[in-house]
Structure 1
Amino acid sequence: MAAESGRDADLPSVRGVYSISVAAELSGFGIAALRLYEEYGLITPLRTGGGTRRYSDHDLARLERVAELIDSGVNLVGIGRVLDLEHRTGELERDNRRLAADNAQLRAEQTPATETDPDATHLGADPDQPASPASETTRTNHPRRQAGQRPRRRESSPQARATGERGHH
């Protein structure tokens, strides 16, 4: 039981403990339906060394979701796709939470460096803001085009004009 202490209490157990007859009774499905759902890959009960199916709390929760989808009019192939997408979505949500936590930690580690080292401000700079005063003057030295105005062509050298090449600056 000590191994389960780190697990989320809301997650159903994946340990197969129920026989097919008990799983049928608990889920409300018949034994033949459970075998069919296994064929379609909707559930995958564990097997004992002798090949006996053992259903877990996780399998029963999945069967409950199968029942909801059947009640909604979804066929077995569609149910398989829905369950797969729900599983993949859950994985992506967990990955996003982990990445958000990693980003927050990196930002927290970066903040003290920018407060003590003025040269380190570029590390956390806002991409919409200029990186340095030099870039601001560069930005303002270029005239802006008016709406609908075409960009000017770059002048090429007399030699390039003679050969028909355009200048690539």
Structure 2
Amino acid sequence: MHPDAAVFVISVAAELAGMHPQTLRQYDRLGLVSPSRASGRGRRYSPRNVVMLREVQRLSQEEGVNLAGIKRILELEDQVNALQSRVEELSAELTRVYDALQRSRRVFAAGPAGDVVAVERGQRPQRPARPAPTFGPSGALVVWRPPPR
């Protein structure tokens, strides 16, 4: 059964929460625990509502918190839950954007001719193959030869 499924009539919800049905009506009027309404306007409580009723009773009897204080506590808990959910959404979105950025990030390096070239991460620009050494007519290695005019 889904925790938000409105299935219990007020008498069953009151019994499950260990309260009188009139107490549930008062909590509904005060906005502490607001059940769904059936087509005939009858209250229908969900398992989550029953848990909240027990928490209201615990705060009232064990902690000595008045009903206005309990209402504020419940509102703040809802706000914290909504903010935590939003933080999780934003964190997941940030992770997706960061991962996409890392995958698409380009690296630039100086190419063999001094130009700027894009390379893959972890790679170096490809150097052109070195020409074979040249030997002069006497068989000596030519280190430098003046350019032709």
Into which bin does the TM-score normalised by the smaller protein fall?
0.5 to 0.7
CA distance in 2, matches of 1:113, 1:18: 54
CA distance in 2, matches of 1:68, 1:99: 34
* 1:29 match: 19
Runs of 4 or more above 6 Å deviation: none
* 1:97 match: 88
Q: Spell out the pairing of 1:124-135 with structure 2 (5 A cutoff).
A: none
* 2:50 match: 60
Deviation at 1:49, TM superposition (A): 1.5
Confirm or deny that 1:38 pairs with 2:36. Answer: no
Deviation at 1:47, TM superposition (A): 1.4
Deviation at 1:65, TM superposition (A): 1.6
Deviation at 1:117, TM superposition (A): 3.1
CA distance in 2, matches of 1:104, 1:29: 47
Q: In structure 2, which of residues 85, 104, 109 is the aligned counterpart of residue 113 of structure 1?
A: 104
Aligned-CA RMSD value: 1.7
Residues 90 and 83 of structure 1, relative CA distance in 2, 3 Å threshold? same
Q: Counting helix residues as a fraction of each chain, which structure ranks higher?
A: 1
Aligned-residue sequence identity (percent) comes to 34
Q: Counting strand residues as a fraction of each chain, which structure ranks higher?
A: 2
Gaps of 5+ in 1: 5-11, 120-169
One-letter amino acid of the structure 2 residue matched with residue 56 of structure 1: S
Q: Spell out the pairing of 1:123-162 with structure 2 (5 A cutoff).
A: none
Secondary structure of the structure 2 residue equivalent to 1:118: strand
The alignment's TM-score, normalised by the length of structure 1, stands at: 0.60
Matched residues, number = 108
CA distance in 2, matches of 1:15, 1:63: 16
Gaps of 5+ in 2: 110-149
Confirm or deny that 1:50 pairs with 2:40. Answer: yes
* 1:75 match: 66
The alignment's TM-score, normalised by the length of structure 2, stands at: 0.67
